[in-house]
Each structure stands twice: as C-alpha cells, then as structure tokens.
Amino acid sequence: MENKLVVNGLKFVPYLKEDEIMKQVRRVASELRRDLEGKQPLFLCVLNGAFIFAADLFREIGINDAQIAFVRYASYEGTSSTGKVRQMMGLPENIEGRDIVIIEDIVDTGLTADRMIADLKAKNPASVRFATLLHKPASTKTGFVPDYVAFSIPPKFIIGYGLDLDGKVRNLRDIYVNSED
Ligand code: IMP
C-alpha cells in the first residue's frame, strides 16, 4: 500500500486497500445480480467520481444485456458540499419502463441522490435502485438511505479509487482518509 500523502496541503493516510475494495465490489455485484435477475437494467454512472467503481461493478455483475450511460452532477468545491446540486450532463431521454440502477461514488448529505431520483422518477422508469461505494450516514441532510452500500464510513473526507480532491488523485488504487478531519 502506498504511504501517507499530502494533497493541496492536506494530509491523508491509508484507509481501504484495493483487495478490501474489490471484495465489497463483488459482494454488491452479487446482490444486484440477484435482484435484477431476468431484467435488462440500465446503469447510470454518476460522473466524475463513480467511473472506476462503475467500471469494476458493471463487469462483476456480468449481465450481458445490461446497458450503461453516464450522468453528471456537481455539488462539491474542495472538501465540502456547497449545498447546491447542479445537473451538468443530462439523463438519457427514454427511460420509461426501464429498471434503473444509479451508481454513485459516495453519499454524503444525500442532496445529489435525492435530486437525481426525483429527476429520474419524472421520466417514469419501472424501478430505481441506488448503489454507492461509500455512505456517510452521519452527514445526511435528507435521510436518504442507499439500497446497496460497499462501505459505510464516518463523516471524513476520502480520496482515491475515483474520488478526488480538486480533480486530483482519482487514479489511486487504494482509498485514503484526511487524517486532520
Ligand atoms: P452529497 O450530494 O452531499 O451526498 O455529495 C455527493 C457528492 O459529493 C459525491 O458524489 C462526491 O462527488 C462529493 N463528495 C462527498 N464526500 C466526498 C469525499 O469524502 N471525497 C470526495 N468527494 C466527496
């Protein structure tokens, strides 16, 4: 595992190793495979942070008829939520009657999740499920609870495996936590 890191003057220490992450990705994939049996789901990867988790999860689920599309929302600046969620890249037009699975990197306040689900439900899908790599239940502002969670964590700032600090360090294979939080 890589050692301590300093990013934008903030210190980070190792938190979740690549093999632990992959073990939980496989567990979430098997739960989704069970729940989606016989369906042709449409996965929606929330850019940018979820792209690595989505790639691993989508391949682990192994449903050949499944499709994937990409949406983009933004609410964070630096290490904290602005409280305002902006849709940056639209939802696919025709999702009526589809079984949707949102793939998110992290649920913090829950504002992005609530906004996305409301936007989706307005388009009459058959079902909407929500899978996240990380969940910070203590940070919730909306009471939103994801359907599938790889790791439930305390309200600390996390980087690596797709998650960034000001666009940096998404490449790291392990997950790190801000040691000053
Ligand atoms: P929410 O709308 O407050 O739930 O925030 C969701 C978004 O905030 C995530 O998709 C991330 O982009 C970002 N975010 C929240 N917590 C962290 C973190 O610890 N590290 C990196 N990004 C985070």
- What's the pLDDT tens digit per position in 102-125? 999 999 999 999 989 998 999 999
State whether the beta carbon of 111 lies less than 6 angstroms from ligand 1: yes
pLDDT > 70: percent of the chain: 90
| H-state helical runs in the chain | 18-35, 51-61, 111-121
The side-by-side arrangement of strands in the sheet containing 175-178 is: 5-7, 10-16, 175-178, 158-159
Q: Tell me the CA distances in angstroms from 41 to 57, 77, 94, 114, one per residue in order.
A: 13, 32, 13, 20
Summarize the confidence of residues 123-134 as an average pLDDT.
97
Ligand 1: centre distance to CA 135 (Å): 9
Ligand 1 atom with minimal separation from the 141 CA: 3
pLDDT, position 1: 47
Instruction: Cite the active site residues.
Output: 108
How confident is residue 87, by pLDDT bands cut at 50, 70 and 90? low
Residue 88 has pLDDT above 80, yes or no: no
State whether the beta carbon of 157 lies less than 6 angstroms from ligand 1: yes
Half-sphere exposure of residue 101, counting CA atoms within 13 Å on the CB side? Answer: 27
Furthest-apart CA pair in the chain: how many Å? 49
Give dist(CA 133, CA 69) in Å, integer: 18
pLDDT, position 58: 98
Ligand 1: centre distance to CA 116 (Å): 14
